Structure 1
Amino acid sequence: MRVKSPKVRLEDINVINKKNGSIRHTAQVRIKNNNFGRYKFDSNMTTLTSGGVLVEEFVIPNGRARLKSTKTFYVIVDVTNPSNSDTEGFHPGLLQLTAKVELTGKVKFTMVLKKKKSAEINCTISINLSTNFVQDLICQ
Protein backbone atom coordinates (compact mmCIF):
# COMPACT_ATOMS: atom_id res chain seq x y z
CA MET A 1 0.00 0.00 0.00
CA ARG A 2 1.39 3.38 -1.00
CA VAL A 3 1.58 6.20 1.55
CA LYS A 4 0.82 9.67 0.19
CA SER A 5 2.10 12.97 1.53
CA PRO A 6 -0.58 15.10 3.19
CA LYS A 7 -1.58 18.45 1.68
CA VAL A 8 -1.32 21.78 3.52
CA ARG A 9 -3.52 24.72 2.54
CA LEU A 10 -3.60 28.33 3.71
CA GLU A 11 -7.11 29.69 3.16
CA ASP A 12 -9.70 32.25 4.19
CA ILE A 13 -7.48 35.16 5.20
CA ASN A 14 -9.43 38.06 6.73
CA VAL A 15 -8.05 41.41 7.87
CA ILE A 16 -9.60 42.21 11.25
CA ASN A 17 -7.98 45.31 12.62
CA LYS A 18 -5.46 47.97 11.73
CA LYS A 19 -3.94 50.00 14.57
CA ASN A 20 -0.71 51.95 14.98
CA GLY A 21 1.02 50.44 11.96
CA SER A 22 0.09 46.84 12.77
CA ILE A 23 -2.37 44.62 10.93
CA ARG A 24 -4.24 41.76 12.58
CA HIS A 25 -5.62 39.03 10.38
CA THR A 26 -7.02 35.55 10.76
CA ALA A 27 -6.32 32.57 8.55
CA GLN A 28 -7.22 28.92 8.23
CA VAL A 29 -4.48 26.32 7.98
CA ARG A 30 -5.88 23.02 6.67
CA ILE A 31 -4.06 19.71 6.69
CA LYS A 32 -5.68 17.17 4.37
CA ASN A 33 -4.86 13.50 4.88
CA ASN A 34 -5.75 11.25 1.92
CA ASN A 35 -4.33 8.09 3.50
CA PHE A 36 -6.14 5.15 5.09
CA GLY A 37 -4.23 5.78 8.30
CA ARG A 38 -3.95 8.75 10.62
CA TYR A 39 -1.28 11.41 10.15
CA LYS A 40 0.35 12.53 13.38
CA PHE A 41 2.42 15.70 12.95
CA ASP A 42 4.77 17.70 15.14
CA SER A 43 4.40 21.36 16.07
CA ASN A 44 5.85 23.79 13.59
CA MET A 45 6.99 27.40 13.45
CA THR A 46 5.51 29.17 10.42
CA THR A 47 7.19 32.33 9.16
CA LEU A 48 5.81 35.42 7.45
CA THR A 49 8.34 37.51 5.56
CA SER A 50 8.10 40.66 3.49
CA GLY A 51 10.91 41.61 1.15
CA GLY A 52 13.20 39.08 2.83
CA VAL A 53 12.60 40.59 6.28
CA LEU A 54 11.01 38.41 8.97
CA VAL A 55 7.73 40.07 9.95
CA GLU A 56 5.99 37.51 12.18
CA GLU A 57 6.09 33.90 13.29
CA PHE A 58 3.29 31.72 14.57
CA VAL A 59 3.07 28.13 15.77
CA ILE A 60 0.97 25.34 14.33
CA PRO A 61 0.53 23.00 17.31
CA ASN A 62 1.11 19.28 17.09
CA GLY A 63 -1.90 17.13 16.37
CA ARG A 64 -3.28 14.49 14.07
CA ALA A 65 -5.51 14.28 11.05
CA ARG A 66 -7.69 11.20 10.99
CA LEU A 67 -7.84 8.88 8.03
CA LYS A 68 -9.29 10.45 4.87
CA SER A 69 -10.10 13.73 6.67
CA THR A 70 -8.96 17.33 7.06
CA LYS A 71 -7.69 19.00 10.23
CA THR A 72 -8.35 22.76 10.42
CA PHE A 73 -6.52 25.31 12.56
CA TYR A 74 -7.49 28.95 12.95
CA VAL A 75 -4.61 31.34 13.58
CA ILE A 76 -4.57 35.03 14.51
CA VAL A 77 -1.47 36.92 13.39
CA ASP A 78 -0.40 40.49 14.20
CA VAL A 79 1.81 41.83 11.43
CA THR A 80 3.79 44.98 12.16
CA ASN A 81 4.23 47.31 9.21
CA PRO A 82 7.63 48.97 9.42
CA SER A 83 6.67 51.93 7.23
CA ASN A 84 9.78 53.80 8.31
CA SER A 85 12.11 51.18 6.84
CA ASP A 86 12.88 50.87 3.15
CA THR A 87 12.01 47.25 2.47
CA GLU A 88 10.78 46.07 -0.91
CA GLY A 89 7.68 44.29 0.37
CA PHE A 90 6.06 47.33 1.95
CA HIS A 91 4.34 49.87 -0.27
CA PRO A 92 1.93 52.62 0.78
CA GLY A 93 -1.17 50.81 -0.49
CA LEU A 94 -0.12 47.17 -0.75
CA LEU A 95 1.47 44.79 1.75
CA GLN A 96 3.07 41.69 0.23
CA LEU A 97 3.79 38.78 2.55
CA THR A 98 5.35 35.38 1.95
CA ALA A 99 4.24 32.52 4.22
CA LYS A 100 6.19 29.27 4.49
CA VAL A 101 4.69 26.22 6.23
CA GLU A 102 6.53 22.90 6.67
CA LEU A 103 5.03 19.95 8.53
CA THR A 104 6.72 16.68 9.45
CA GLY A 105 5.04 13.63 10.88
CA LYS A 106 4.15 9.98 10.50
CA VAL A 107 1.31 8.15 8.81
CA LYS A 108 0.25 5.17 10.90
CA PHE A 109 -1.70 2.42 9.10
CA THR A 110 -1.87 -0.27 11.70
CA MET A 111 -0.01 -0.90 14.91
CA VAL A 112 2.92 -2.10 12.79
CA LEU A 113 3.32 0.17 9.74
CA LYS A 114 4.52 3.78 10.18
CA LYS A 115 5.93 5.99 7.42
CA LYS A 116 7.49 9.44 7.78
CA LYS A 117 5.90 12.04 5.52
CA SER A 118 6.24 15.79 5.24
CA ALA A 119 4.19 18.54 3.64
CA GLU A 120 5.12 22.10 2.77
CA ILE A 121 3.60 25.13 1.11
CA ASN A 122 4.82 28.57 0.07
CA CYS A 123 2.20 31.31 -0.28
CA THR A 124 2.39 34.89 -1.50
CA ILE A 125 -0.25 37.14 0.06
CA SER A 126 -1.05 40.67 -1.12
CA ILE A 127 -3.11 42.79 1.29
CA ASN A 128 -4.61 46.07 0.09
CA LEU A 129 -4.08 48.45 3.03
CA SER A 130 -6.62 51.05 1.90
CA THR A 131 -9.54 48.57 1.80
CA ASN A 132 -8.21 46.00 4.34
CA PHE A 133 -8.86 43.08 1.98
CA VAL A 134 -6.67 40.32 0.62
CA GLN A 135 -6.05 41.12 -3.02
CA ASP A 136 -4.09 38.00 -4.03
CA LEU A 137 -3.37 34.62 -2.44
CA ILE A 138 -1.07 32.44 -4.55
CA CYS A 139 0.14 29.15 -3.07
CA GLN A 140 2.53 26.55 -4.47
Structure 2
Amino acid sequence: MMNIKRPRKSLDFFLYQQMQSKPDPSANGYAARKSCIMFKPMYTTHMSSTLLAETIIILVFALTVMRIKTPDLKLRSVIIQNLNIVPGASPSFSTTLIGQMTVKNKNFGHYTFDNSRVTVSYGGNTVGETQKAKGCAKARNTRKMNITMEVSSEKLWSNSNLSNDVSSGMLIVSSHAELSGKVQLMKIMKKRKTAEMNCIMKVYLTSQAIEDLNCE
Protein backbone atom coordinates (compact mmCIF):
# COMPACT_ATOMS: atom_id res chain seq x y z
CA MET A 1 0.00 0.00 0.00
CA MET A 2 1.32 3.38 -0.90
CA ASN A 3 1.58 6.10 1.74
CA ILE A 4 -0.21 9.15 0.53
CA LYS A 5 1.24 12.35 1.98
CA ARG A 6 -1.28 14.90 3.06
CA PRO A 7 -0.51 18.38 1.96
CA ARG A 8 0.81 20.62 4.64
CA LYS A 9 -0.88 23.84 5.40
CA SER A 10 1.02 26.69 4.05
CA LEU A 11 2.78 29.10 6.36
CA ASP A 12 0.60 31.94 5.16
CA PHE A 13 -2.56 30.05 6.05
CA PHE A 14 -1.19 29.27 9.54
CA LEU A 15 -0.32 32.90 10.19
CA TYR A 16 -3.75 33.94 8.99
CA GLN A 17 -5.42 31.62 11.51
CA GLN A 18 -3.25 32.95 14.32
CA MET A 19 -4.21 36.52 13.50
CA GLN A 20 -7.90 35.61 13.46
CA SER A 21 -7.73 33.92 16.89
CA LYS A 22 -5.74 36.72 18.58
CA PRO A 23 -8.00 39.25 20.40
CA ASP A 24 -8.16 42.75 19.09
CA PRO A 25 -6.18 45.03 21.47
CA SER A 26 -8.16 48.05 20.46
CA ALA A 27 -11.44 46.30 21.28
CA ASN A 28 -10.21 45.29 24.76
CA GLY A 29 -8.98 48.78 25.42
CA TYR A 30 -12.34 50.20 24.52
CA ALA A 31 -14.12 47.72 26.82
CA ALA A 32 -11.78 48.57 29.69
CA ARG A 33 -12.28 52.29 29.20
CA LYS A 34 -16.03 51.78 29.04
CA SER A 35 -15.94 49.77 32.28
CA CYS A 36 -14.00 52.53 34.04
CA ILE A 37 -16.38 55.19 32.78
CA MET A 38 -19.37 53.27 34.12
CA PHE A 39 -17.66 52.53 37.47
CA LYS A 40 -16.75 56.09 38.39
CA PRO A 41 -20.33 57.46 38.70
CA MET A 42 -21.38 54.42 40.77
CA TYR A 43 -18.42 54.92 43.13
CA THR A 44 -19.19 58.64 43.49
CA THR A 45 -22.85 57.93 44.26
CA HIS A 46 -21.87 55.40 46.94
CA MET A 47 -19.49 57.89 48.58
CA SER A 48 -22.16 60.62 48.57
CA SER A 49 -24.70 58.30 50.20
CA THR A 50 -22.20 57.33 52.89
CA LEU A 51 -21.34 60.96 53.68
CA LEU A 52 -25.03 61.88 53.83
CA ALA A 53 -25.78 59.02 56.23
CA GLU A 54 -22.86 59.99 58.48
CA THR A 55 -24.00 63.63 58.50
CA ILE A 56 -27.52 62.62 59.52
CA ILE A 57 -26.19 60.40 62.33
CA ILE A 58 -23.97 63.20 63.66
CA LEU A 59 -26.84 65.69 63.49
CA VAL A 60 -29.24 63.38 65.36
CA PHE A 61 -26.56 62.67 67.97
CA ALA A 62 -25.96 66.39 68.50
CA LEU A 63 -29.67 67.23 68.79
CA THR A 64 -30.56 64.39 71.16
CA VAL A 65 -27.63 63.09 73.16
CA MET A 66 -25.49 66.23 73.36
CA ARG A 67 -28.37 68.65 73.97
CA ILE A 68 -28.58 69.36 77.72
CA LYS A 69 -32.06 70.01 79.10
CA THR A 70 -33.20 71.44 82.43
CA PRO A 71 -34.53 68.66 84.72
CA ASP A 72 -38.19 68.80 85.80
CA LEU A 73 -38.89 69.34 89.50
CA LYS A 74 -42.40 68.65 90.80
CA LEU A 75 -44.30 68.09 94.03
CA ARG A 76 -46.29 64.91 93.45
CA SER A 77 -48.23 64.43 96.68
CA VAL A 78 -48.72 65.97 100.14
CA ILE A 79 -50.10 64.45 103.35
CA ILE A 80 -51.28 66.46 106.37
CA GLN A 81 -50.46 65.33 109.89
CA ASN A 82 -51.13 66.84 113.34
CA LEU A 83 -53.32 69.66 112.08
CA ASN A 84 -54.18 72.17 114.81
CA ILE A 85 -56.67 74.98 114.12
CA VAL A 86 -57.54 77.83 116.51
CA PRO A 87 -60.56 79.83 115.24
CA GLY A 88 -61.86 83.10 116.64
CA ALA A 89 -60.67 86.67 116.69
CA SER A 90 -57.00 85.61 116.63
CA PRO A 91 -57.00 82.48 114.47
CA SER A 92 -53.96 80.31 113.92
CA PHE A 93 -52.98 77.00 112.42
CA SER A 94 -50.10 74.57 112.61
CA THR A 95 -49.47 71.26 110.88
CA THR A 96 -46.86 68.88 109.55
CA LEU A 97 -46.69 68.38 105.80
CA ILE A 98 -45.15 65.24 104.34
CA GLY A 99 -44.58 65.43 100.61
CA GLN A 100 -42.93 63.60 97.77
CA MET A 101 -40.93 65.47 95.16
CA THR A 102 -39.54 64.12 91.91
CA VAL A 103 -36.60 65.18 89.78
CA LYS A 104 -37.02 63.96 86.20
CA ASN A 105 -33.68 63.97 84.40
CA LYS A 106 -34.22 63.73 80.63
CA ASN A 107 -30.51 64.00 79.81
CA PHE A 108 -28.11 61.23 78.79
CA GLY A 109 -25.86 62.18 81.72
CA HIS A 110 -26.21 62.30 85.50
CA TYR A 111 -27.63 65.40 87.22
CA THR A 112 -25.88 66.12 90.52
CA PHE A 113 -27.59 68.81 92.62
CA ASP A 114 -26.60 70.74 95.73
CA ASN A 115 -28.46 71.35 98.98
CA SER A 116 -31.79 73.07 98.38
CA ARG A 117 -34.56 74.81 100.29
CA VAL A 118 -38.27 74.05 100.02
CA THR A 119 -40.75 76.65 101.30
CA VAL A 120 -44.50 76.85 101.90
CA SER A 121 -46.25 80.22 101.82
CA TYR A 122 -49.67 81.52 102.78
CA GLY A 123 -50.86 84.95 101.74
CA GLY A 124 -47.44 85.75 100.29
CA ASN A 125 -45.64 85.01 103.58
CA THR A 126 -43.43 82.00 104.33
CA VAL A 127 -45.05 79.76 106.95
CA GLY A 128 -42.74 76.76 106.66
CA GLU A 129 -39.45 75.61 105.16
CA THR A 130 -37.11 72.68 105.09
CA GLN A 131 -33.71 71.80 103.70
CA LYS A 132 -33.17 69.04 101.18
CA ALA A 133 -29.78 67.36 101.09
CA LYS A 134 -27.77 67.14 97.91
CA GLY A 135 -28.22 64.15 95.66
CA CYS A 136 -28.08 62.78 92.14
CA ALA A 137 -30.62 61.90 89.45
CA LYS A 138 -29.31 59.24 87.08
CA ALA A 139 -29.36 59.63 83.31
CA ARG A 140 -32.81 59.24 81.74
CA ASN A 141 -34.31 58.52 85.15
CA THR A 142 -36.59 60.05 87.81
CA ARG A 143 -35.38 60.56 91.37
CA LYS A 144 -37.98 60.50 94.17
CA MET A 145 -37.41 62.53 97.35
CA ASN A 146 -39.46 62.70 100.53
CA ILE A 147 -39.71 65.94 102.52
CA THR A 148 -41.14 66.76 105.95
CA MET A 149 -42.00 70.32 106.88
CA GLU A 150 -43.44 72.06 109.94
CA VAL A 151 -45.93 74.76 108.94
CA SER A 152 -47.30 77.38 111.34
CA SER A 153 -49.16 80.69 111.10
CA GLU A 154 -46.97 82.07 113.88
CA LYS A 155 -44.55 83.12 111.15
CA LEU A 156 -47.16 85.39 109.60
CA TRP A 157 -46.66 89.11 110.06
CA SER A 158 -50.32 89.78 109.52
CA ASN A 159 -53.10 88.52 107.29
CA SER A 160 -56.62 89.87 107.36
CA ASN A 161 -57.96 86.91 105.37
CA LEU A 162 -56.83 84.23 107.83
CA SER A 163 -59.95 84.51 109.99
CA ASN A 164 -62.25 84.18 106.97
CA ASP A 165 -60.23 81.29 105.50
CA VAL A 166 -60.24 79.38 108.79
CA SER A 167 -64.00 79.92 109.10
CA SER A 168 -64.51 78.64 105.54
CA GLY A 169 -62.48 75.54 106.34
CA MET A 170 -60.05 75.96 103.44
CA LEU A 171 -56.62 77.55 103.02
CA ILE A 172 -54.78 78.17 99.77
CA VAL A 173 -51.03 77.71 100.15
CA SER A 174 -48.12 77.63 97.72
CA SER A 175 -44.79 75.83 97.66
CA HIS A 176 -41.52 76.79 96.01
CA ALA A 177 -38.22 74.97 95.53
CA GLU A 178 -35.05 75.23 93.47
CA LEU A 179 -32.42 72.64 92.67
CA SER A 180 -29.08 73.87 91.39
CA GLY A 181 -26.66 71.34 89.98
CA LYS A 182 -24.66 70.11 87.02
CA VAL A 183 -25.40 67.73 84.17
CA GLN A 184 -22.38 65.65 83.15
CA LEU A 185 -22.18 63.98 79.74
CA MET A 186 -19.65 61.20 79.11
CA LYS A 187 -17.31 62.64 81.76
CA ILE A 188 -16.15 65.33 79.34
CA MET A 189 -18.95 67.92 79.34
CA LYS A 190 -20.52 69.64 82.35
CA LYS A 191 -23.22 72.29 82.34
CA ARG A 192 -25.01 73.91 85.28
CA LYS A 193 -28.80 73.68 85.29
CA THR A 194 -31.32 74.95 87.85
CA ALA A 195 -34.64 73.16 88.21
CA GLU A 196 -37.46 75.25 89.71
CA MET A 197 -40.86 74.33 91.13
CA ASN A 198 -43.90 76.48 91.91
CA CYS A 199 -47.01 74.74 93.25
CA ILE A 200 -50.42 75.83 94.52
CA MET A 201 -52.71 73.64 96.62
CA LYS A 202 -55.86 73.79 98.71
CA VAL A 203 -55.78 72.65 102.33
CA TYR A 204 -59.16 71.45 103.61
CA LEU A 205 -59.17 71.81 107.37
CA THR A 206 -62.12 69.58 108.22
CA SER A 207 -61.03 66.56 106.18
CA GLN A 208 -57.31 67.33 106.63
CA ALA A 209 -56.69 66.72 102.95
CA ILE A 210 -54.81 68.37 100.10
CA GLU A 211 -56.68 68.87 96.85
CA ASP A 212 -56.12 70.63 93.53
CA LEU A 213 -52.34 70.33 93.70
CA ASN A 214 -51.00 72.12 90.63
CA CYS A 215 -47.32 72.61 89.85
CA GLU A 216 -45.52 74.57 87.14
Structure-1-length-normalised TM-score: 0.90
146, 150, 168: which one pairs with 1:78?
150
Higher helix share: 2
Q: Report the aligned-residue RMSD.
A: 2.0
Q: Which residue is equivalent to 2:136?
A: 64
Q: CA deviation at 1:102?
A: 1.1
Report SS of the residue matched to 1:4: coil
Report SS of the residue matched to 1:2: coil
Q: Which residue is equivalent to 2:170?
A: 94
Q: Which residue is equivalent to 2:80?
A: 15
Point out where structure 1 has 5 or more consecutive residues left out of the alignment. Answer: none
Q: Which residue is equivalent to 1:34?
A: 106
Residue pair 2:123, 2:159 contacting (<8 A) in 1 also = no
Q: CA deviation at 1:16?
A: 2.1
Change in Cα spacing, 1:54 to 1:134, as seen in structure 2 (3 Å) is same
177, 197, 200: which one pairs with 1:121?
197
Give a deviation string over 1:17-70, Cα, whole Å, max 9, x none: 224631112100110101110000111112111101110111121111011111
Q: CA deviation at 1:81?
A: 3.4
Could you tell me how far apart the structure 2 residues matched to 1:15 and 1:61 are?
22
| Count of residues paired in the alignment | 140
Higher strand share: 1
- Partner AA of 1:50 in structure 2: Y
Of structures 1 and 2, the larger Rg is shown by: 2
Greater alpha carbon shift after TM alignment, 120-129 vs 20-29: 20-29
Report SS of the residue matched to 1:36: coil
Structure with greater contact order relative to length (CA < 8 Å, sep ≥ 6): 1
105, 108, 121: which one pairs with 1:49?
121
- Partner AA of 1:104 in structure 2: S
Q: Which residue is equivalent to 2:5?
A: none
- Partner AA of 2:76 in structure 1: E
- Partner AA of 2:119 in structure 1: T
Could you tell me how far apart the structure 1 residues matched to 2:74 and 2:183 are?
18
The answer on 1:2 being equivalent to 2:75 is: no
- Identity, % of aligned positions: 32
Point out where structure 2 has 5 or more consecutive residues left out of the alignment. Answer: 1-65, 86-92
Give a deviation string over 1:75-132, Cα, whole Å, max 9, x none: 111211359x534467111121111111111000122110111111110111100110
Structure-2-length-normalised TM-score: 0.60
